[in-house]
Structure 1
């Protein structure tokens, strides 16, 4: 006899046409990864897995990290998912692909569950669909990197909900810290952490979870923090946004050499590339500074409820880091797809357009790498146009995401009782309905209807003591 929960999930599967599409695409991806079905560039799938296995046999099996390899560009926590398939008997490649498949399934399940929790009657299908189509567009390469494991941790951090605000803050902090320990970028979610007690708790737990094991490993394996300084020597990878002028310049005789560097990536070299690298770093600093300012505006004036803030701000922060990075590999899009899909499980998200733009950018990934990668390196026009279109789409998505958060926290934004957020020009119609069933939701508004976002907007319910500062500052 089925339990009540089992019947509920069976009902979700029957009502969600995305489930059979997800199952079909993942079977296809796994068959391509395992070489049961031929893929047009086998090395694109197995290249990184081969490197991981070399690190294991040449370093980890001898009790040390592969610190002598310039390709080791990861936090020390990366050793865990790389070693996990090695623990079990059998082919390392097969077990690695299966590990990534399990992480993929976990993300999909969390998206379905979160959409159902946000709207039990008519859950949003957008998040599961975006994840299904996006990973399929990346192709079997998605199973040849460990980023799916990191993304599963990140999605869990954004979707996990426990009985109390404090326990939810602790659990999410642990998961964010674990993600940062594995590959840094989930730490960007802290831009969206709430203020006051639970915010400090979330931040502190995340920092401790990432820092404590890292420092302990540094004691036993001196040099594991070298990945931080190794990054400063990276050049401009030809797929990155800041490589665009050099890609287009080849069409007009402005040639810059391309070298396969010791970091395992093709990068532009020569005059101008150092300046482009500094511009990329400056772009990251400016983007993060704007996010800090947005956070302050939210604290002072209010704008959107915390559940949307954590996912929406987290997505924007990851998007800023990817679009302004000197390196842009296909697996970076896995990060964006996971966080974007979480945003779309809430109908009131501010990130709907940027999320679908990311999917559009992802759709041409296999054309850039590996299909036309050789042609791109030699300056042919059509792969260059595809790359520029992809990168331009990511930049537009980043600008729209930052703009949406900026307008939502502006002094003239108005949240009507109907749950529609009007922007500074009074024309935007973004639905922002507070989800009172989410434990951390009360962190911004005090938990009750009298403390909700509507109550802090002049002219909606009249003035209240404490002003807009109480929207975020109150415990």
Structure 2
């Protein structure tokens, strides 16, 4: 693989992924087996109890996914062999695809000296999450999201279509890639991207609603969610238990949520903060349109998309380890370009991710019990994520104030459209964010390829291999 040649990160990536797969398969022991296979066991229950009967598991309160989520859950079931083994292998393939796309994006951004930051962040971040990353289907969604940010066909129009399809399909699997639309380009190509993304997500969803009435209930089921133990808005209650707060923790919707005085108010505050975050992102977008665009429009989709996903994660009432996989994927794409505005927030996300296994599963029982040391780790992690979100929004806000008449904006030592020593007007042409995406992807580049029965008689041994504690 020419792209990976002489890349020091490649052997480290390979070594960490071999260890993660062996841990997932139970070849190497892990201190909490249930943390790896817990969600996969739930997927198997949904398959045997609902999907095999031609139904969605709508009666299970844990099912709160778009209908497209059935595809990655059923794929390992349709193949011969152990469901667990095949599921872990599917996630490994998605992991490798993301890494390959990051290497390629960095190579396009700077053919002479590709930035290793993005691949390194992905390598270290997923390793920090541990084998739990292979026990959730979020790696598959993240692969589509990274492809949406890095694919660069020959023309701006075809790029808009390809990215719209990938964003829409990602939202069809799990809603969060729709956050990329905050960074869609202006005018015709932007409308095309948004329209294609909406059609790709909405049309199959409505079609499935006709055949499986009720699959749209995921849109309203989230209203019943409480404030989950690990979320940012649970922080006051984590600390409050140290000083006698009278509330407690209960397991609902497959997650531990706080109950007691002030919790409903915190839930409403979380929803309000999400709305405020969306308003700020829209205001930044409007500010960019009025003031001439971003200084580096080629990285706008990834930078704004990362900020949007970060805002949604820190304002959500739920924050599970798999949410961090989303952030790592988008942050890594940002770091493949040396022009990114998200360098500091991206590394802060990696710092927050580094304590993931301490919070869950290592000290999770003490966290539920209100212990100070585990609570302090969680509060520290959440504080770093909030700081990263604030800095990301601040970077976008300040950037939209620099792309003005007479402002010199250097890009790798070259100034857009100017001779040395002269000041120019930066104009964001129609579809400019799709030009030179990540520093490459012009007409000289060819189209990029997008990488993308339970319990049968032959499965027992393999299933026992991964299920045993």
Provide TM-score, normalisation by structure 2.
0.89
Ranges in structure 2 where 5+ consecutive residues have no aligned partner? 433-469
Deviations 1:335-387 (A, max 9, x none): 00000000000001000000000000000000000000000011100000000
Match of 1:267 among 241, 252, 257: 257
Equivalenced residue count is 429
Q: Are the equivalent residues in 1 in contact too, given 2:295–2:403 (CA < 8 A)?
A: no
Q: Are the equivalent residues in 2 in contact too, given 1:299–1:472 (CA < 8 A)?
A: no
Structure 1 residue 411: Cα displacement:
6.4
Higher relative contact order (CA 8 A, sep 6+): 2
SS at match of 1:259: strand
Rounded Cα–Cα distance in structure 1 between residues aligned with 2:344 and 2:231: 22
Q: For the aligned residues, what is the CA RMSD?
A: 1.8
Structure 1 residue 472: Cα displacement:
5.2
Give 1:223's aligned residue: 214
SS at match of 2:257: strand
Give 1:300's aligned residue: 290
Q: Are the equivalent residues in 2 in contact too, given 1:127–1:340 (CA < 8 A)?
A: yes
Rounded Cα–Cα distance in structure 2 between residues aligned with 1:65 and 1:235: 23
Q: Are the equivalent residues in 1 in contact too, given 2:168–2:201 (CA < 8 A)?
A: yes
Deviations 1:15-74 (A, max 9, x none): 211000000000000000000000000000000000001101110010010000000010
Q: Does 1:460 align with 2:423?
A: yes
C-alpha change, 1:415 and 1:258, in structure 2 (3 Å) is farther
Rounded Cα–Cα distance in structure 2 between residues aligned with 1:219 and 1:123: 48
Q: Does 1:248 align with 2:211?
A: no
Rounded Cα–Cα distance in structure 2 between residues aligned with 1:145 and 1:432: 43
Q: Are the equivalent residues in 2 in contact too, given 1:241–1:391 (CA < 8 A)?
A: yes
Rounded Cα–Cα distance in structure 1 between residues aligned with 2:431 and 2:321: 41
Give 2:116's aligned residue: 125
Structure 1 residue 413: Cα displacement:
6.3
Q: Does 1:359 align with 2:333?
A: no
Give 1:284's aligned residue: 274
Deviating 4+ runs (over 6 angstroms): 411-415, 431-434
Q: Are the equivalent residues in 2 in contact too, given 1:322–1:328 (CA < 8 A)?
A: yes
Structure 1 residue 298: Cα displacement:
1.0
Rounded Cα–Cα distance in structure 2 between residues aligned with 1:412 and 1:24: 43
Rounded Cα–Cα distance in structure 1 between residues aligned with 2:48 and 2:140: 22
Structure 1 residue 138: Cα displacement:
0.1
Q: Are the equivalent residues in 2 in contact too, given 1:348–1:432 (CA < 8 A)?
A: no
Structure 1 residue 433: Cα displacement:
6.7
SS at match of 1:163: coil
Provide TM-score, normalisation by structure 1.
0.87
Structure 1 residue 416: Cα displacement:
4.8
Rounded Cα–Cα distance in structure 2 between residues aligned with 1:364 and 1:474: 40
User: Which has the larger displacement, 298-307 or 315-324?
Assistant: 298-307
Match of 1:171 among 158, 162, 185: 162
Give 2:43's aligned residue: 52
Match of 2:86 among 77, 81, 95: 95
C-alpha change, 1:336 and 1:474, in structure 2 (3 Å) is closer
Q: Are the equivalent residues in 2 in contact too, given 1:235–1:326 (CA < 8 A)?
A: yes
SS at match of 1:276: helix
Q: Are the equivalent residues in 1 in contact too, given 2:295–2:402 (CA < 8 A)?
A: no
Q: Are the equivalent residues in 1 in contact too, given 2:125–2:328 (CA < 8 A)?
A: yes
